[in-house]
Amino acid sequence: MNAPLAVMAALEQEIGDLVARLHDTTTTHIAKRAYVHGFLTPASDAERQALIVCVARVGKVAAASTATTLIQHFGARAIVFIGLAGGLDAAQAVRVGDMVVATAVAQHDLDSSPLFPKNQIPLLGVTQLATDTALSARLVSAARDSTAGTAARVHEGLIISGDQFIHSAIAQTALQAAWPAALGVEMEGAAVGQVCFEHGVPFAIARTISDRADDQAHVDFPSFLTQVAAPRATALLKAFFR
């Protein structure tokens, strides 16, 4: 059997109907998570690609734990992370409803200075980790296809992660100043990136912008999550696996 491609999200709504669409599923519970192995086509398809799908829950530790299991236990050949993010660019070109496909990820809350440069991953000597070019290009084209005919735009650039939900203009402005190139902020991508980097496994990340990480974010995020996240994820993954 071919090595599975892993698809993960932080929350159930962010993975859309992917699990429901899988054939011949086997669910394995490890460390409080359900890993669903299956295929997007029936057994008559000799070339069918195995997928392993998991909802990781929120934050960098949850994401790192899940990514590690996907690689070590299930032999994932690559990891695709999908979900929501706060739009961060100072120019406000990244609007609610737009999508961002990461070209690189970094941990905005990692600070071992003065022992190591601020935001650098200690003893790894890197701050930003690049996503896989081919997988990301596939995500960009799926994002474009799935938003065609809507007002949503697809951006490519840096996504930053940290263990905070950013929900104030003050925090948003501070992050914009520290990370002028960042287009989005979320809570998992850079953790997946570090685990994948350390294992030499390709990864890619696509985020739909649910809020602007400002004083309204705690209102905008839950309403986007219940109303828009699942259909958007479904459309993106349908286009990605077409």
**For ligand ADE, the closer CB: 194 or 210:** 210
Out of 130, 165, 168, 241, which residue is the one contacting ligand ADE (CB under 6 A)?
A: 165
How far apart are the C-alpha atoms of 36 and 16, rounded to whole Å?
14
| Cα angle 118, 80, 109; round to 5 | 20
Beta bridge partners of 9: 55
Number of residue whose CB is nearest ligand ADE: 86
Out of 22, 53, 84, 154, which residue is the one contacting ligand ADE (CB under 6 A)?
A: 84
Task: Examine residue 86 and tell whether it contacts ligand ADE (CB under 6 A).
Answer: yes
- Residue 61 Cβ, how far from ligand ADE at the closest point, in Å? 15
Is the distance from CB of 82 to CB of 12 less than 8 angstroms? no
- Residue 73 Cβ, how far from ligand ADE at the closest point, in Å? 27
Task: Examine residue 15 and tell whether it contacts ligand ADE (CB under 6 A).
Answer: no
Residues ≥6 apart with Cβ < 8 Å to 126: 120, 197
- Residue 12 Cβ, how far from ligand ADE at the closest point, in Å? 15
**For ligand ADE, the closer CB: 132 or 186:** 186
Per DSSP, the residues of 121-150 read: BTTTTBS-EEPPHHHHHHHHHHHHHHHTTS
- Residue 206 Cβ, how far from ligand ADE at the closest point, in Å? 13
Beta bridge partners of 5: 51, 78
| Site of interaction with ligand ADE (CB under 6 A) | 84-86, 165-167, 185-187, 210-211, 213, 217, 221
